[in-house]
Amino acid sequence: MKLSWRVILLWTLPILVIGFFLWQGAFSTAPMPTGNNTASTRMTYGRFLDYLNQGRIMSVDLYEGGRTAIVEATDPELDGRIQRLRVDLPGNAPELISRLRQDHISFDVHPPRNDGAIWGLVGNLIFPILLIGGLFFLFRRSSNVPGGPGQAMSFGKSRARFMMEAKTGVMFDDVAGIEEAKEELQEVVSFLKKPERFTAVGAKIPKGVLLVGPPGTGKTLLAKAIAGEAGVPFFSISGSEFVEMFVGVGASRVRDLFKKAKENAPCIIFIDEIDAVGRQRGAGIGGGNDEREQTLNQLLTEMDGFEGNTGIIIIAATNRPDVLDSALLRPGRFDRQVTVDAPDIKGRLEVLKVHARNKKLDPSVSLEAIARRTPGFTGADLANLLNEAAILTARRRKDAITMLEIDDAVDRVVAGMEGTPLVDSKSKRLIAYHEVGHALVGTLLKDHDPVQKVTLIPRGQAQGLTWFTPNEEQGLISRAQLLARITGALGGRAAEQVIFGDAEVTTGAGGDLQQVTGMARQMVTRFGMSDLGPLSLESQQGEVFLGRDWMSRSDYSDEIAARIDAQVRSIAEHCYDQACKIIRENREVMDRLVDLLIEKETIDGEEFRQIVAEYTAVPEKEQYVPKL
């Protein structure tokens, strides 16, 4: 691994500092002089006094403030030769100088060197200098990292990504399935490219466009396409990047963002997930002034305040427009709200064509058939679908994607990963009757969606599945269709009870019963399809929004609540009785279908209807066939 010199320096700094202090501690005191003044033989202070009394001391050199002395003395044991000895003197012996003068002994006092103070000063300075230098290199190294430590002193600066020429690689031709939204935004691009065409008739450029739609429908992709088409400076930021734990930081970032935008006007600002900062004000408990509200106030002022801004178009995206502040949605701030919804069958076909460009498809693959089978899929879902099909193709070592991989990918995206098939047992037969019950009741009801396939292959948490093909472009649902769906959902439980009896009823219908209860309750409380009359007794607002709906209240009395429960129960019981009746009257065909399903594990919808038609009349159903 290659290490930079900065990393090596940061690792060696502590070692150098520790070594320096050890070296300083060893040499901070002035040592004995070297050369002729050294003495290797020591002599005790008591013996020194004896020599002094006997007159054997020739000279004395005092060092270290009088704590150490180098003594020249004659030793009778060595024939009177002069010997240099080192003596450690006590600190409290001031009479020694007087005694030396009195005995006329030559002495000299050597003052201590000042090296210790110098090295102490240097040691006290070098560690802060090295520490500051290391921090400087750290800050400099991370200064180019967004949000890194090098930007610790720039909390109030905008973190928006700026592109003078936005090269996102996405154009309007790469966005399919949402033609109405594309037309609305193409006008914005025309405003930026050729403003004189609009100003000639008195038109003003819109200040803001709000993209509204469920997740995965292509709101951010549209913003990238606008950036790629407009050819003007482009700022992109997420709503969560405005809000910090420090009060005033978000408002400062908003000011800095619009200051940069005004310097580069005309330009586009894209704020993704604006609901993170644009929620309704006054939603807190206690009326506190929080950081998010200050940020929103600053955003409102910058978009359309006293000064205003010209040449700046703000594009925002959200999937929660119901929680946005009303002042943010008014004309003058967000002049247009563009709904980006899930594509219809034509839109899905166009989306599939876009995502199939870089996929190797078998000639037998029909994108039209895929589009018909995937109602409700968004652009992100379709992209994921083709990617899953490509992964399955590679796993199965095939050269091209076939319809088999497409069908398996649809099942995996909708229901989950395929599990291990069940062994032939009583449990498998019971599940087969349950799934055939759904399919048989749905087939024999005129207002129910047609069966697509029935399978015993487990997926996700389900041990078996029955697929229905919903009617395309069905914006309105009739009362008969809702009752048919409730009856079809109860077909599995009805089959268990009719075939195996009350004692063998299982928990497999738990999800079906939740679905039935929800649909029946909506019929009574929202759609006015009961004996209570045409009344809407419950709002569509499911979640409690803190500060606005904190105290949830009932829209009806206890008496009406009891009648609602009775109506919901009446609808469910009526549909359940009808499902049991259909199964009892068609027991023979049901047994044959169950045996076939256990043998094959999957029955196609067309084959299923042909077998049922051999025993009873199958009602013709109106199925939407769009022109592609």
- The set of catalytic residues is 435
Contacts of 372 (CB under 8 A, 6+ apart): 345, 469, 472
Query: Which string of b and e fits 455-471 if b means at least 16 CB within 10 Å?
Result: bbbbbeebbbbbbbbee
Amino acid at 613: A
Distance CA(292)–CA(323), nearest Å, equals: 14
Distance CA(123)–CA(146), nearest Å, equals: 37
Q: Within the chain, how many helices (H) and strands (E) appear?
A: 21, 14
Dihedral sign for Cα 81, 87, 90, 92, please: positive
Q: Are 504 and 496 in contact (CB under 8 A)?
A: yes
Q: Are 434 and 464 in contact (CB under 8 A)?
A: yes
Q: Are 441 and 485 in contact (CB under 8 A)?
A: no
Contacts of 62 (CB under 8 A, 6+ apart): 68, 69, 89, 107, 108, 109, 110
Tell me the chain's radius of gyration from C-alpha atoms.
Answer: 44
SS3 460: coil
How many CB atoms are closer than 10 A to CB 38?
11
Query: CA–CA distance from 383 to each of 64, 129, 348, 364, 407 (Å)?
Result: 86, 57, 10, 20, 15
How many CB atoms are closer than 10 A to CB 84?
18
Omega before 266 within 30 of 0, i.e. cis? yes
Of 302, 284, 309, nearest to 242 by C-alpha is 302
Q: Are 218 and 350 in contact (CB under 8 A)?
A: no
DSSP secondary-structure letter at 66?
G
